A and B are shown apart, each in its own frame.
Chain A
């Protein structure tokens, strides 16, 4: 048998060919999931309502409409302010977690993560309770929480954990010897901070800023709930598509929304490329020593921030239990009877769980196998590069934009895949696509950490590569695989933006239901639904931590020395 494809001068074995076929399959899947929907969206922007090509007419109309163009400026303003507030706060919080002796560190760490488990409209609801027209403290803000003020406060809550996670990682990787050297040279604390601490965390700070900026620009739930008349890009897309059924203009706004997100993403990648390993294998990890004044200050700081987070969650929880805000403050479970406010009742939660489980199972399998094929296939560089490119793309694409692309692509009459439209399957596919990048990167990082020679050893022992994959690679990467699954589950539970265009009456999701309920004016029930979502995702995460701690300790006995 003559085999045309070869790595250099080495003939490809049957195994190599199978792996290459696998890589091609991953490319095809990613094209269907990400590439083609985005292409459909891009094309739609150049068409009129009847599908005729109109060139840049839609874009011209967009920039000629002040109301629309203003939204872009508004989005930018909100994102910039939120970034400027969140990053310093998160830096201090992360600094407290990693560089000071904090009592109950695990508790503060946990509290900072709570917002991740909530749909983004939850902080909006809580703020309405606190400062809305009927709010307890509306006097404090002059009754004008709707608008930019409300959006920024809610976004700070919503983005905080993401920034803390990135900055904690950046600050944790410190080499104690650098600090000892600085001490020995007699540098002042301030000088040490600016010459050692900050440069070490520099890339983390940029990364956190870019992530926060993108989150705010692309988020839809907060602005929808508490934006009032303050329009942003994300709400414009929704209004154009759902409100006015103007798909072409929706596509144009979507492309405009894509620009800043893509830009932030590009900046982040550029900066990350400059990042070199600060922590060599010989580094000595930094163990903070107690220092009273510093520790007291940071403890106080963490307490205040934690109280803010707990106040938001607590307010939503309390609001969901109150009979008739603010006139009858007696408690009731009535708001949790979702049948009364939504035709789907509790079913929307079941749908959410179904979608989240589906995304976790299929997504994890696809991401891990995809990353493995990309890492381990011999030769075939160009196609592997294509996988990497397609895997990175979703990070730069806002959920709303991707969702819109899905309408155009999967709802097209001539698409043989259009039977997927309005099914649970398309929601699962969309969620996997939306959160693909982080999962792929987690898998790729885990795979890079294991010895690159395992495959070479297997080949020399004549053991097929898939056998080593199942017997060695998967068990070693089990923690990372679970991380990916939980990440997908939690995000699928809370996402609003990417699925808002794709659900059907039968597959309505809890986060979307909460949004609709809120729209109909039943804030308490919306808050209740949000809290159930928080409860489910936090429980799953908690089980994951427990499993990690007790179950895998046994399964991964081999890690112990």
Chain B
């Protein structure tokens, strides 16, 4: 039995449907990310699970208990907001101990727990400070400690890292993930940052327009996107419009490309063919390689670790990522030509 069961959840704001018949299971101890563009309903779903934004219909069960109609205070969760929502007039220690103080625990007991949590988030000496004296990353850690203080069964993170600068963000990603694994607390994080989702989540829930597009491990989502939206939203992707001329061939303008057999699509149907820029092969092309194209290098944009090339072959325009080594070894230059292959097993086909 899963720890959290969301069934047929719908949420309307007037005429606008923020969530449409969403169902989802989260296993105990799992780290799940809700990923999607702004307005996709991911935050609404998180707030519905917390009881902060009551759903219009549908049920939520947590650990077998139906919590659908319970107010937030009667549910079991800890939450961290993008704004951190730290109480500015209380010290860090008082913030972390805020939920403990009202549970009639002894003072010494509370102090010990606060110290334990502050060390857990790597800030053992910050107890006497006020939130305004801390950096953004430190405030985030305190908010996390506060949410974990009462040992909730479910940890909800609402875009916890998006207010931080890039370096701190990357470090905290790792820290939160490590902490979550150590404590084993079931965690749901909302984010619009795909990199964040890919690096942190055990499973990703990709959402768009109030529905779930795909649920899967980061590898699934990246390697085998279920819809064109997921393919586009997660990672960089080339889209080529064409028609299915045989179950395993797609025609794009004057070019015909081999692909894996498509069952669900009719012959002659319009399709979108996708390939990731890093999947465009250049080295060690076998002689009779499938989908071999001679392309012209139109642009070469330096991105740091690699270069993103804009390629053109007749009606086909492609982006491809080339490492610096490859560019040097093969003497790729702007305006030059190059032989590439589009491996059929890396092509994804969606109905147009």
Contacts and interface: CB of A to CB of B under 8 A. Distances in A.
A301 B85 CA distance: 47
Nearest to B98: A461
B50 A9 contact: no
Nearest to B47: A456
Contact of A475 (B56, B79, B89, B133): B89
A482 interface: no
A468 B83 CA distance: 18
Nearest to B59: A9
A39 to B, nearest CB: 34
A558 interface: yes
A6 interface: yes
A472 B75 CA distance: 23
B72 A558 contact: no
A456 B50 contact: yes
A464 interface: yes
B86 to A, nearest CB: 8
- Which of the listed residues A378, A456, A463, A464 has the most CB atoms from chain B within 10 Å of its own CB? A456
B73 A462 contact: yes
B144 to A, nearest CB: 12
Interface residues of B, number: 40
A346 to B, nearest CB: 42
A561 interface: yes
A460 B155 CA distance: 10
A460 B147 contact: yes
B113 to A, nearest CB: 13
Contacts of A6: 69
A16 B52 contact: no
Contacts of A454: 85, 87
B71 A13 contact: yes
A19 B68 CA distance: 22
A460 B69 contact: no
Given A460-B78, A475-B89, A558-B130, A9 B56 contact: yes
Nearest to A12: B71
Contacts of B79: 456-457, 460
Contact of A462 (B54, B70, B150): B150
B261 interface: no
A467 interface: yes
A409 to B, nearest CB: 39
A10 B147 CA distance: 23
B87 A463 contact: no
Interface residues of A, number: 35
Given A461-B99, A461-B150, A558-B130, A9 B54 contact: yes
A186 interface: no
Given A9-B69, A453-B85, A454-B85, A467 B56 contact: no
Given A454-B85, A476-B89, A9 B71 contact: no
Contacts of B101: 463
Count chain B CB atoms within 10 A of each CB in A11, A461, A472 and give the residue with the most: A461
Interface in B42-86: 50-52, 54-57, 68-75, 77-79, 81, 83, 85
Contacts of B99: 460-463
Contacts of A9: 54-57, 68-69
B90 A472 contact: yes
Nearest to A459: B72
A464 B69 CA distance: 19
Contact of A476 (B70, B88, B150): B88
A475 B94 CA distance: 14
Interface in B171-196: none
B29 interface: no
Contacts of B90: 471-472, 558
Contact of B69 (A10, A451, A468): A10
Given A10-B70, A459-B73, A472-B90, A560 B132 contact: yes
Contacts of B149: 461
B147 A451 contact: no
A7 interface: yes
Given A451-B85, A453-B85, A561-B132, A460 B72 contact: yes
B71 A11 contact: yes
B152 A460 contact: yes
A556 to B, nearest CB: 8
A510 to B, nearest CB: 38
A464 B87 CA distance: 15
A556 B99 CA distance: 23
A549 interface: no
A435 B131 CA distance: 36
Nearest to B94: A471
Nearest to B69: A11
B54 A7 contact: yes
Contacts of A558: 88-91, 130-132
A27 B79 CA distance: 34
Interface string B156-172: 00000000000000000
Interface string A442-479: 00000000010110111111111001100110011000
Contacts of A413: none
A8 B56 contact: yes
B71 A460 contact: no
Given A463-B102, A475-B89, A558-B88, A11 B81 contact: no
Contact of A461 (B50, B81, B133, B146): B146
A476 B131 CA distance: 13
B103 interface: yes
Interface string B190-205: 0000000000000000
A151 B71 CA distance: 59
Nearest to A379: B54
Contacts of A291: none
Contact of A456 (B70, B72, B150): B72
A559 interface: yes
Which of A458, A459, A557, A561 counts the most chain B CB atoms within 10 A? A459
B60 to A, nearest CB: 10
Interface-centre pick from B71, B103, B146, B150 (highest chain A CB count, 10 A): B71
A560 B70 CA distance: 39
A558 B95 CA distance: 13
Contacts of B55: 8-9
Contacts of B81: 451, 453, 456-457
Contacts of A556: 89
A15 interface: yes
A207 to B, nearest CB: 31
Nearest to B85: A453
Contacts of A472: 87, 89-90
B152 to A, nearest CB: 7
Give the 10 A-B residue pairs with the shortest CB-CB distance, closest first.
A461-B99, A8-B54, A459-B72, A10-B54, A453-B85, A558-B130, A13-B71, A459-B73, A475-B89, A472-B87
Given A6-B69, A451-B85, 16 more contacts: A9-B54, A9-B56, A10-B51, A13-B74, A16-B71, A378-B71, A458-B98, A459-B71, A460-B77, A461-B99, A461-B150, A462-B103, A462-B150, A463-B101, A558-B90, A560-B130
Interface of A: 6-13, 15-16, 378, 451, 453-454, 456-464, 467-468, 471-472, 475-476, 556-561
20 contacts: A7-B54, A8-B56, A9-B68, A10-B71, A11-B70, A451-B85, A453-B81, A453-B85, A456-B81, A458-B98, A460-B147, A461-B98, A461-B150, A463-B98, A463-B99, A463-B102, A467-B102, A556-B89, A558-B91, A561-B133
